[in-house]
Structure 1
């Protein structure tokens, strides 16, 4: 019996060994199927799991078109604000991310030893790589850079949250003051607008880490403890205070201190905040200045003051912000803030910096909910070219070459097919026009060009395509 026939029979037999709903049993999947090996020996071939690793995605043409569309908006907005594109390796030294124990990003690393025994990690975020590059390259400041990196975090997969995602990163280095925060926030809003979202759909929460620092310093909490407190307070949106009490005790911080912090963080307006920390507070002055600049940018209706936003990363030092779905159905769309102290954690000099990360997964889910995501199932091709005689028709090849030479996208049918199939194929791939060569028109040196939208068709000299 031939290998092919044996394989077919075995596959057919295996398909009857199913569980509920006609699914192949786990035992059959593990066993795989038998193939005939050398000298008549049978070897087991494990059935391939065709799904990508949990929390990751394949990008077949429709999703790749969707990604290209979204990334084109990232590039266009970045360019309109004068940002320059950069990139870095997806693999970095693990030490780049282990600044502060307790950060979620530290606990979610994809880490391993390379063949040289060096601890490396898939990048979970882009900002540390940017800091490394700036420290190494020493570019003339200020700089406005952006990137769209793929990032990896080992976390629970939910809607809009995956273990790998792409992220639009926008950063300004070397500028003190709120003008830089206002610039990146305006860019974030322009991206939302460019894909059809409004301030009724998305809001951006704004606060300042400096507020928390001022309050904790009055309570005698400073130094490394401050960053740890910020990481813990950021978790309170997801867990009750009891869940972090043990960590707080380890830091020597009592529950009453946290409750006082929560009172301040519960402020609904900047005026309420000023009542707790005083109008002379530098953080209050910065927030008022930022909101005034955002009004000049024409994006005030997107902004929401929220004193509870502190962000989970320890390196933030000033203004922080998060874009959110106003319906509350999705996780944060984007987030960022000022991180003047990041380079210091790597042994460099304090350097002003502000920026944000904007994930690709959540925005796509939001656009789906709002009915704003275009249909990417069909491709877009300028011409579909087919010869009556199939691939042996040199005129079809010549026609495709002429059109490609003029900058057109062309799908050349590579088999001999009936014209009914050709037109169905052209419709499926989204071809604007179909060119048919050969037949009677070919004898006259012509070809038929059909417009797929109007149905109009004309005879055209091949050299005039």
Structure 2
């Protein structure tokens, strides 16, 4: 008999032991009625000491207890979601839907089309040999068919996969957006979770800086719709081509470029000494390291041109973007910051990220040009750029600024039969109103006082009372909850 079978039989026998006072240590809150519920296992007669029971930890969500009345072994389930994930209550869903509606409306205004992709993707789509932090944060595993899969940590590779799949049937340029869930096993801070929803906007097939200007304008338009101003949020802008020009100046081999970008992206996350040591460790000379650090500190075009010259492509692209910013009206939002390179290996040109000017939150959104991504997957080089905008950070910023909307539950009508015999007529009235497009809450078996409080709580517009005397006359009693006026209304005139 295999060891697995023996272990399974042993586990079943343990679960049939009666009169056990406890099978595992419970945390102090594990039996709290609002945090846990119990499921049952049958009990019988195997010595308790033969069971190797688990200790109580934050990630151990199943705890065993015994029902003293019938001897059944119970499992107390921690009702918190997995660490780093969220439940969405009706209040949370109203806020999420409101935010997503704003994402969609901005996308519509810029003539983008919505697409979507599976949350579960092939692991190979996200494994790159660039030392990226993201490759260490994957929720990856082998499925039952032996295939290596991953919960997507970002959306852009899925977009590239779909475009490559569609091939020449697509007519460029494409302007696509999506709102999807992403997963990363990372250290959590305020606004940073292990799962989040992300609004992605991508432009495929346009090589000119106009595409980046459109994307940055989209982000600014979203901020303005939410009540956020340029004094609240700024957008740092740079170009990977600028860093590439620095590497060329110091004769650093091209194959080190991506590694240098990944290291430089840590500039504001770890001490400068560590940045220098990491650059040296991948083969960058000390003189080149000092040159890179010097350029990354630059904040103006004259300084940048003094070192690299005005004829460099990266410098010219950035100056063009700033000209567009004047035309679009978002020049007060953006600033040159050569230290911005973004951590993903596939960026090739202009990169940008929005930040909280108070410095309390992580980057709000970020993106850039990725003209080489398709060839990384075996396709042809295709001009492309895009950004990702997470839901968690922007909600935190709106909280800080007092800009969260009041999104209380709204109902048009409450229908309430005053007598149990009128439940059928009340159902018919509610059904007719719903078919006419009104939201209706049909209530039974409650006191009238409770119904009035409920109507106020959910912001109902009308209360429709179905009473015997009115019904016999072909009418119902209607109370306008905003004016407090009430009258009898014929059923056929109710709308």
TM-score by length of 1: 0.91
| Preserved CA contact (<8 Å) 1:171 1:356 | yes
Describe the shift of the 1:45–1:88 C-alpha distance in structure 2 as closer, same or farther (beyond 3 A): same
How far apart are residue 301 of structure 1 and its match? 1.1
Matched, 1:394 2:424: yes
Query: For the Cα contact (< 8 Å) 1:318–1:339, is it kept in 2?
Result: yes
State the match for 1:7 in structure 2: none
Find the counterpart in structure 1 of residue 379 from structure 2.
348
Q: Which residue of 1 aligns with 2:106?
A: 77
Task: Count how many residue pairs are aligned between Structure 1 and Structure 2.
Answer: 446
Deviation at 1:307, TM superposition (A): 1.1
Q: Is the 8 A contact 1:391 1:416 kept in 2?
A: no
Q: What's the Cα RMSD here?
A: 2.4
CA contact (8 A) 2:155 2:182 kept: yes
2:355 aligned counterpart, secondary structure: strand
Match for residue 365 of structure 2? 334
- Provide the C-alpha distance between the structure 2 equivalents of 1:31 and 1:402, rounded to a whole number of angstroms: 49
Residue 404 (str. 1) matches residue 434 (str. 2)? yes
From 221, 226, 230, the equivalent of 1:190 is 221
Deviations 1:42-77 (A, max 9, x none): 332110100000000001111011100000000111
Determine the C-alpha separation between the residues in 1 that align with 2:225 and 2:399. 15
Of 413, 425, 429, 2:458 maps to 429
Superposed, 1:45-84 pairs within 5 Å as: 45-84=74-113
Structure 1 window deviating more from structure 2 (392-401 vs 350-359): it is: 392-401
Question: For 2:72, what is the secondary structure of its paired residue?
Answer: strand
Match of 1:285 among 316, 326, 332: 316
Are 2:422 and 2:468, in contact at CA under 8 Å, matched by a contact in 1?
Answer: no
1:375 to 399, 406, 428: 406
More helix by share: 1
- Determine the C-alpha separation between the residues in 1 that align with 2:27 and 2:338: 56
Structure 1 unaligned regions, length at least 5? 1-9
Distance 1:222 1:48, change over 3 A: same
* Range moving further from structure 2, 79-88 or 428-437: 428-437
- Measure the CA separation in 1 of the matches of 2:303 and 2:200: 33
* 2:62 counterpart of 1:33: no
How far apart are the structure 2 equivalents of 1:421 and 1:384?
A: 12
Q: Is the Cα contact below 8 Å between 1:99 and 1:345 reproduced in 2?
A: no
Map of 1:91 onto structure 2: 120
4+ long deviations beyond 3 Å: 17-20, 22-27, 29-33, 244-247
Partner of 1:128: 157
For the 8 Å contact 1:100–1:314, the answer to whether it is kept is no
C-alpha distance in structure 1 between counterparts of 2:63 and 2:332, whole Å: 60
| Structure 1 Cα separation of the partners of residues 371 and 281 of structure 2 | 27
Aligned to 1:431, what secondary structure does the other structure show? coil
1:153 maps onto 2:150 in alignment: no
> Which residue of 2 is the match for residue 300 of structure 1?
331
Q: Distance in 1 between matches of 2:393 and 2:305?
A: 34
| CA deviation after TM superposition for structure 1 residue 392, in Å | 4.7
Task: Give me the whole-angstrom Cα distance separating, in 2, the residues matched to 1:88 and 1:125.
Answer: 11
Q: Could you tell me how far 1:243 is from its partner in structure 2?
A: 2.6
**Among 240, 250, 254, which residue is 1:209 paired with?**
240
The offset of 1:231, in angstroms, is 0.4
Structure 2: unaligned runs, 5 residues or longer: 1-18, 34-54
Name the SS for the 1:458 alignment partner: strand
Contact 1:395 1:438 in 2 (8 A): no
- In structure 2, C-alpha distance between the alignment counterparts of 1:209 and 1:19, rounded to whole Å: 52
